[in-house]
Structure 1
Amino acid sequence: MSAIDWARRATGAMRPSRIVIAACCSVGLASLGLAADVPEADMAVRDALKARLPKTPVGAIDCAKVRGLCEITAGANLFYVDPAARYLIIGRIYDMQTRQDLTAARLLEMNPDMLVGAAASANAAANVTGQDARRAVAAAAGGKADLGRTPAAPVLRKLSLDGLGKEGAIIWGDPRGQAVTVFTDFRCGYCRALSNVLRTMKVKVIERPISVLGSRDIADRVYCARDREQAVHAAYAGEPMRGGSTCDTTGLDANEAFAQSHGLNGTPVIVRSDGAVLEGYRPREFLEQWLKEGRS
């Protein structure tokens, strides 16, 4: 029986235009849900947003991806509302079945060069949705929004890595290049994108995996692999890793303890040789200039 035939039977011979078929390749029906009249639902949300956020340039609306939520894109920004567009939600959506950060994947798909931080900073404050959304969030919090001020960029801080030994580090890249330490998660889309950028640069990457998105099992296999560099790239690409050997992974425990004690709750976190820190993905041109500043 085809997926279309199954969907028709399950919905009682509903006309095809009213059927939403969940993709079976990676995300289950439980996370997507079968919704009827998706275009009509999207239009209702768009009309409600026009009334409630008239100055926000709403682009795409997707009410079929996550049951009970509609994903809204506004320029390079992303937020969520309930189907009645009464509640505006700013945050990240995680699929615990597939262990994917759906918000991160969508943001990166929208703009691979976005200078966004990890975890909390990808949708930081209400700035992601424009002036009207900032007003809505401020009103919900009982405060007042300063709509004329652009939120300040995150202040770069420094981080001493003296508390970390050699254990727990996966070293790859150009051994003669400038060293850069990266705290990563193998299920993080931004980490994958950053890894691809670093592969094109003449840098020595000291990768320290931490399990933010439940990836410790992958980190163990990469760390214990005979060819760790090959295993790193295979893990990010979702490819099978060679060998199934086990080893002492207490170094990875040390990575996670260090990250927790220093408030590294998202990935990637990039640390320059002088201790300067960047949180989140950055494109190659930015990284090259930032690393050059560390040598001056």
Structure 2
Amino acid sequence: MSVTERRRGLARPSRLLAAGLVMLGAAGIALAADAAVSEGKVRALLKERLPKTAIGSVDCATIGSLCEIVAGDNLFYVDAGARYLVIGRVYDMETRQDITAARLLEMNPDMLVGAAARASSGVGAEELTGNRSAAVPVPAERPPAAGERRTLSLAALPKDGAIIWGNPAGETVTVFTDFRCGYCRALAQVLRDMKVRVVERPISVLGNRDIADRVYCAKDREAALHAVYAGETLNPAPVCNTSGLDANEAFAARNDLRGTPVIVRRDGAMLEGYRPREFLEQWLKGAKS
């Protein structure tokens, strides 16, 4: 074989690879075009079928065969033909993420987690059914009436059910959390940096209580709590008495704690929803002795 023939032989794979890359690039462009056409088609169909609903964004590329529809502060889903409208939560079973709640929090960071999970699509539902009681987003902190001070007495709660962590000598703050709640994870880091004493009381607003049971029954509850917030998966812990967690759930129901996090100061003053460090430091200084 001559040198020229060898060079031609070596060139063939490169040409084949280049041709393959061109084909992949063309396929990618075609897929992108199809997605754009699909989203445009869905938007046109929604305009026809929900003429009173102002449609914001349409995303048909993120959640399988569903298209995510944003209409104002509301979120709902339709199929690619915009025939079937889905009102509710989409949950990713692989990542164990409540996609609907996470997306609503992206849209409105002041929303209360848990209430966010229920705030799917009041607009489309009202237009289709005439039901004006459809769920709407709940702000993280409802403005109090004149002279009203939002407080929560913790006297009815037993000692059991609390996971106590942080600085034993620091200011005490009680928080109601859900281990699936991203804003609870962010709040835990803020409180850790503030070196306060945290009395954490898990409640379940985004799913079952399995994670809370594992953390509560762990040999080192504080370490287990931070491991979960860091995204680690806990092995099942030995069975323990979780009646304190039952008490947390019952207390939350009685006091209409519909989401997490809920932050309670030692004098009973209460906040619903995540707050940054600067805000919390000033808020804690306002506690009555």
**2:273 is aligned with 1:284:** no
Q: How many residues align?
A: 251
Q: Shift in Å at residue 219 of structure 1? A: 1.4
* 1:189-245 Cα shifts (integer Å, max 9, x gaps): 222222222222232111111223334222122112222211101012221448944
Change (3 A) 1:90 1:242: closer
Q: For 1:154, which of 119, 132, 142 is the aligned residue?
A: 142
Q: 1:31 corresponds to which residue?
A: none
CA RMSD of aligned residues (A): 4.0
Give the distance between the partners of 2:76 and 2:197, measured in 1 at CA.
39
Query: Counterpart of 1:116?
Result: 111
The 8 Å contact of residues 184 and 208 in structure 1, kept in 2 or not, is answered as yes
List runs of 5+ in structure 2 lacking aligned partners. Answer: 1-25, 133-138, 145-149
1:241-281 per-position Cα deviation (integer Å, ceiling 9, x unaligned)? 48944432221121112222222232222222222222222
Rounded Cα–Cα distance in structure 2 between residues aligned with 1:191 and 1:218: 14
Rg comparison, structure with higher value? 2
CA contact (8 A) 1:94 1:100 kept: yes
Aligned residue in 1 for 2:176: 183
The 8 Å contact of residues 52 and 127 in structure 2, kept in 1 or not, is answered as: no
Q: Give the structure-1-normalised TM-score.
A: 0.66
Determine which of 227, 230, 240 is the counterpart of 1:237.
230
Tell me the equivalent position of 1:79: 75
The residue that corresponds to 2:196 in the other structure is 203
Q: Which residue of 2 aligns with 1:61?
A: 59
User: Which digits, 9 at most, give the CA deviation of each residue in 1:38-96, with x for residues without a partner?
Assistant: 332122234556786899683562454054x4224579x56224245588777643346
Is 1:94 the counterpart of 2:91? The answer is yes
Change over 3 Å in CA distance of 1:125–1:106 after alignment to 2: closer
Q: Secondary structure at the match of 1:39?
A: helix
TM-score, L = length of structure 2 = 0.68
Distance 2:244 2:222 in 1: 17
CA distance in 2, matches of 1:19, 1:253: 54
Cα distance in 1 for partners of 2:77, 2:209 equals 32
Question: Is contact 2:162–2:201 with CA below 8 Å preserved after alignment?
Answer: yes
Q: Is the 8 A contact 2:43 2:58 kept in 1?
A: no
The 1:277/1:18 distance shift into structure 2, 3 A limit, reads: same
**What residue identity is the alignment partner of 2:267?**
D
1:254 equivalenced with 2:247 (yes/no): yes
Q: Does 1:103 align with 2:96?
A: no
Offset of residue 287 of structure 1: 2.5
The amino acid of 2:39's aligned partner reads D
Tell me: CA distance 1:199–1:278, structure 2 relative to 1, closer, same or farther (3 Å): same
Measure, in 1, the Cα distance between the counterparts of 2:175 and 2:258.
13
Q: Match of 1:192, SS?
A: helix
The corresponding residue for 1:12 is: none
Is 1:43 the counterpart of 2:49? The answer is: no
The one-letter code of the counterpart of 2:277 is R
Over 3 Å counting, the alpha-carbon distance change for 1:191 and 1:201 in structure 2 is same
The question of whether the paired residues in 2 share the 8 Å contact of 1:104 and 1:190 is answered with no
1:70 and 2:93 equivalent?
no
Structure 1 residues 265 and 143: alpha-carbon distance in aligned structure 2, compared to 1, 3 A threshold: closer
Cα distance 1:62–1:217, how it changes in 2: closer, same or farther (>3 A)?
same
**Cα distance 1:78–1:16, how it changes in 2: closer, same or farther (>3 A)?**
farther
Give yes or no for the alignment of 1:227 onto 2:252: no
2:103 maps to a residue whose letter is: R
Residues 177, 201 of structure 2: 8 Å contact kept: yes
2: distance between equivalents of 1:248 and 1:55? 50
Q: What is the SS of the residue equivalent to 2:194?
A: coil
Contact kept, 8 Å, 1:185 with 1:215, in 2: the verdict is no
Match of 1:173 in 2: 166
Specify the code of the residue in structure 1 equivalent to 2:114. A
Contact 2:140 2:273 in 1 (8 A): no
Indicate how the Cα distance of structure 1 residues 235 and 44 shifts in structure 2: closer, same or farther if over 3 A, else same.
same
For the pair 1:271 / 2:264, whether they are aligned, the reply is yes
